[in-house]
Amino acid sequence: MAVDQRLIEELALSLDEYHLIVERLGREPTEVELGMFGALWSEHCGYKNSKPLLRLLPNTGPRILTRMGGENAGAVDIGDGLCVVMKIESHNHPSAIEPYQGAATGVGGIVRDIFAMGARPIAILDSLRFGPLSDRRNRYLFDGVVGGIGGYGNCLGIPTVAGEVCFADAYSANPLVNAMCVGVARIDDLMPGGAKGPGNLVMLVGADTGRDGIGGANVLASRVFDESSAELRPTVQVGNPFLEKLLMEACLEIAEKYPDWVVGIQDLGAAGLTSSSVEAAERAGTGIEVDVSLAPRREKGMTPYEVMLSESQERMLVFVKPEHEEDVRRLFQHWELRSDVIGRVTDDGCARVRDGDQEVARAPVTVLTTPPEYRRQGEEPAYLERLQSYDLASLPDLTDPPAALLRLLSSPEIADKRWVWRQYDHQVLTNTAVGPGSDAAVMRIKGTNKGIALTTDGNGLYCYLDPYAGGAIAVAEAARNVVCAGAEPLAVTDCLNFGNPEKPEVYYQMEQVVRGMAAACERLGTPVISGNVSLYNETNGDAVLPTPVVGMLGLLEDVGQRCPMAFQAAGDEVFLLGAGLEAAAATLAGSEYLREVHGLVAGRPQIDLDLEAGVQRTCLEAIQGGLLHSAHDCSHGGLAVALAECCIESGLGLEGSGLRVSGRQDAALFGEGQSRIVISCPPGRRGEIEALAGGYGVPFTHLGRAGGERLVIGDLLSVPVADLARAYREGLPRALQGR
C-alpha cells in the first residue's frame, strides 16, 4: 500500500517507525498489517519508551513463579501448593472521555487477566486521581468512575477491598484510574497464556465483536489530549459484567477440571484479537493463523481491520486440542457462551490473517512484537532546584493547631473515603477479614490459616518534588501498610503514570522514579512481578504529576494475627516507631499541611531505606510476637492525623499531655517524615518492644495512653474525638456537594 500519512498518525506511529516496518517486512504493509503494527508497537502493548527502564526493577525471588511480562499476570507462591496471582493496569484516557464505562471496562480487563491464568479473583483494588472537587466536571468524573468500578465489580461478585483516592490540579483534565485484581489458584492449576502446539485450534469465546474500542491501544494510550478528545468517545469500550461472570466461571472450570483439553487461555484486552493472538504465539515460540470471517460480529459490514483491532469486551481466546473441540464447545454452551474456532496454531513463526480465501496480513511474530526501544536522555526539570531549595523554615509556625488538624481531616485528600467504598460490595465471597478504610485489606485464604494483605499506594507530589525519593517512598509506604496489618511484604505490581516521554523532563521523572522504586524493592525484598505503564497523560501540553502506583502483596501465615489500625483498649500504651517529635521544617516537604494551609508545594522529600527496613521489621516481629494491639502508618497529614485516625476508628482518645515538642510545632504535628508507625500495646510490654526497636536501631518514643474522649498532644492540641470524627466523616460528602 502507498504511505498514508493520515493513517500512520492515527495509529500513533512515527514516519521513522513506518519505514522500519517496511524494512523489516521487505515491502509495504497492508492496511491490516499496519493496524496490527500500530497496536503492538504502541506504548500500551510494546512499552517502547519504558522497557529499557523497567529492566532496572528487580523481578525475581524464591517465591516468584512467573517471569515479568511472560504471562497475563504475576504469580507468587504462598505455600501449601497455593499461589496468589495479581496485576494492576490503567484505564486513564478512556475514563477521562467516558468515566463510567472507562472505569468499568478497566475492572473487566484486569479481572480477565487473572482468571485467564486459572486463578479465581478474590479482590479488586483501585487507585484514583482527580482534579479538585470544587470543579463540576471533576465531580462528574469522580462520580462516574466510582460508579463504574462498583457497578462492574459488584455484578461480578468480586469484592473491592482497598484503594486510594487523591486530588490535585494536575489531574483535572486527565484523571488516573488504576485497577488491580488479585486471585488465588493451586500452583498445579496455573494456566499459561501461550499458543503452544502446532495444529491446536484457536477458539474465540464470549461476546460478539463490534466496533467499540477500535484503536484504544494506540489512539487513547499513545497520544495526548486536547479540546478534540471528546470525539474519541467511540474508542471507549462498553462492558457487560454479567457476561464476564459466565466467562470467568467457564474458564475456571476448564483450568480446575479439564486442563488437558486446552494448552492455554488468553484474554482479549488492548488491541483485541491482534494482541491476544500474536502475543500468545510469541510466548510459545509458534505461529498463528486467524480467519476473521469466522469471528461472530454484532455489526454489519465490519472490515478485517476492524475485527482485528476491535476491543469489544468479555472475549477470550482458548487454544484447544483438536480432539477436545467438542468437549470445550459443550462446556461453554453449558455456560451459555458462544464459542467459534477461528484459526489454528502453526509452526512457522508467522502471524497470518485471512478473510475467507483472501490473506490480508502476514508478518513474522517476532517482528510484530519487537518494536523499537527508545532510551532517551532525560533532563532535570527547571523547577526542581527552585522548589527543593525553598526555605520551609521561613514559613510562619502554627498559631491554632486544633483548627489546622480539623481542616486537614476534612480535606478531600485525607477525609474518610466511606462515600466511595460503601458503593463497593467489599464482603462478597466472605474472604474479607479487614476491609476498606485500613492501612491494608486482609483476605482469608479459605481452606488454610493463611491471609494476604493488599494495598495500593503512591504520591505524585513527592515524585514531582524528588522523583527518586518519591519512587522509593511509594514502595516503602505500600510495604509499611501491609506490615501494619501483620503481613510480610512479598511482591509488587505497579502502574507507572506519566506524561509524554518524548519530553526530556518527563523522561527524567520516569527514570528517576523507576530507579528509586528499584532501590526500595531491593532493600525491602519485594520484587516487581507484573504491571503496566501509562504514558502521554497530558492535556493541552500539561502533564499529570509523575505518579507511580504500587500494589503490594503481603502474607500472614496466621490470619488470626492480623493487626488493626485503631486503638483497642483504654489504658494501652501508645508509641511511635521511627523519628520522634523533634521534627525539622524539612519534613513538611510535599506535605498535605503545606498544600492545604499554605497553598504551597515545595521542599525535598527524603527517605532512609535502612531505617525503613528496621521500622518494618520491628513492627512485624512485634505483631507476630503478640505484643501489639494496633499499628498504623504515619503518612498523609503526619503524626497528628495518624493519631486522630486511630482515635476516630476506635472512639478512644489519647492522653498525651506529658509530651513535649521542641522546635516547630507544624513539623512535629503535620510533617510527613517517612518510616514511622504508631503502635499500641498492653501495659507492661514496653520493654520487649523497646528491645526489638533497639536491635534494629529504630527510634522509640512514648506518646501516651489510649482512653478518654479527647486527643491530647502535649500542650499543643486537645480536641474531642467526636469533633475529629465529624470533620473526617463529613469532608468528602461536603466537597461532592460543591461546598
What digits encode the pLDDT tens for the residues 620-639? 999 999 999 999 999 999 99
What is d(CA 399, CA 666) in angstroms, rounded to the nearest whole number? 9
* Segment 431-456 mean pLDDT: 97
Residue 100 has a pLDDT of: 96
Please provide residue 374's backbone torsions phi and psi, each rounded to the nearest 5 degrees: -115, 110
- Is position 618 within any domain? yes
Distance CA 92, CA 655 (A): 45
What distance in Å separates the CA atoms of residue 718 and residue 696, rounded to the nearest whole number?
33
Q: Which range (233-242, 300-309, 598-607, 609-618) has the least confidence?
A: 233-242
pLDDT at 216 over 70: no
* 406 grid coordinates: 480539623
Q: Give 265 or 220, the one with higher predicted confidence.
A: 265
* Residue range 584-606: mean pLDDT, rounded: 96
Q: Choose the final residue of a domain: 343, 368, 393.
A: 368
> What mean pLDDT comes out for the span 68-88?
95
**pLDDT of 738:** 79
pLDDT in the model for residue 249 = 98
pLDDT of residue 487: 98
User: Would you name the residues annotated as active-site residues?
Assistant: 44, 91
Is residue 558 included in any domain, yes or no? no
State how many domains the chain has. 2
Banded model confidence at residue 237, pLDDT cuts 50, 70, 90: confident
Span 539-560, pLDDT tens digits? 988 999 999 999 999 999 999 9
Type of residue found at 140: Y
511 touches 53 (CB < 8 A)? yes
Mean pLDDT of all residues in 137-147: 97
670: region left, alpha or beta (phi > 0 left; psi from -120 to 50 alpha): alpha
Q: For residue 52, which amino acid is it?
A: P
Query: What is the predicted pLDDT for the residue at 98?
Result: 94
Q: Which of 205-214, 262-271, 313-322 shows the lowest per-residue confidence on average (mean pLDDT)?
A: 205-214
Residue 231 confidence class, pLDDT cut points 50, 70, 90: low
**How many CB atoms are closer than 10 A to CB 77?**
17
Strands (E), 5-79: 74-79
The verdict on residue 544 lying in a domain is: no
Arithmetic mean of pLDDT, 349-368: 97
Model pLDDT, residue 218: 56
| Integer Cα distance of 612 and 637 in angstroms | 19
Q: 573: domain range?
A: 564-739
Q: Please check the confidence at residue 327 and state whether its pLDDT lies above 60.
A: yes
Q: Which of 332, 351, 368 is the last residue of a domain?
A: 368
**Strand ranges (E), 312-465:** 315-320, 339-346, 350-355, 358-364, 432-434, 441-444, 451-457
User: Among 42-46, 363-367, 550-554, whose mean pLDDT is lowest?
Assistant: 42-46
What pLDDT is attached to residue 386? 97
Mean pLDDT in residue range 342-369: 97
Residues in the chain: 739
How many percent of the chain have pLDDT more than 90? 90
Please report which confidence band the pLDDT of residue 59 belongs to, taking 50, 70 and 90 as the band edges.
very high
For range 110-114, the mean pLDDT: 97
Where are the alpha helices (H) located in 335-394, listed in sequence order? 365-368, 383-388
Name 710's Cβ contacts closer than 8 Å, sequence gap at least 6: 653, 654, 718, 719, 720, 721
Please compute the mean of the pLDDT values over residues 471-482 and round it to a whole number: 98
**SS3 assignment, position 567:** coil
Which of 323, 352, 368 represents a domain boundary (last residue)?
A: 368
pLDDT for 289: 98
**Residue 554 falls inside a structural domain:** no
pLDDT band at 230 (very low <50, low <70, confident <90, very high): low
In a domain, 14, yes or no: yes
Q: Closest by alpha carbon to 50, among 470, 475, 511? A: 511
pLDDT reading at 3 higher than 90: no
SS3 734: helix
Averaged over 496-522, what is the pLDDT?
98
Question: How large a percentage of the chain has pLDDT more than 70?
Answer: 96
Alpha helices in 26-174 (DSSP H): 31-40, 43-46, 51-54, 92-97, 99-115, 136-156
Average pLDDT (479-507) is: 98
Query: What pLDDT does 217 receive?
Result: 60
The whole-angstrom separation of Cα 361 and Cα 338 is 26
Helix (H) or strand (E) holding 706: strand 700-706
Q: What is the mean pLDDT of residues 453-480?
A: 98
Beta strands across the sheet bearing 630-633: 630-633, 677-681, 573-577, 700-706, 654-656, 710-713, 717-720
99-115 vs 136-156: helix crossing angle, rounded to 10: 30
Q: Has residue 507 been placed in a domain?
A: no
In this structure, are residues 413 and 87 in contact, taking their beta carbons and an 8 Å threshold? no
- pLDDT (average), residues 316-333: 98
- pLDDT tens for 654-713 read 999 988 888 899 999 999 999 999 999 999 999 999 999 999 999 999 999 999 999 999
Report CA-CA distances (Å) from 156 to 338, 358, 441, 551, 708: 19, 40, 19, 21, 44
Q: Specify which of 39-43, 90-94, 720-724 reaches the highest per-range mean pLDDT.
A: 720-724
pLDDT for the residue 2:
56
The CA–CA distances, whole Å, from 63 to 83, 116, 187 equal 9, 21, 12
Return the CATH number at 12. 3.90.650.10
CA angle 207, 208, 213 (to 5 degrees): 90
∠ Cα 416 632 60 (to 5°): 105
- 219 pLDDT exceeds 90? no
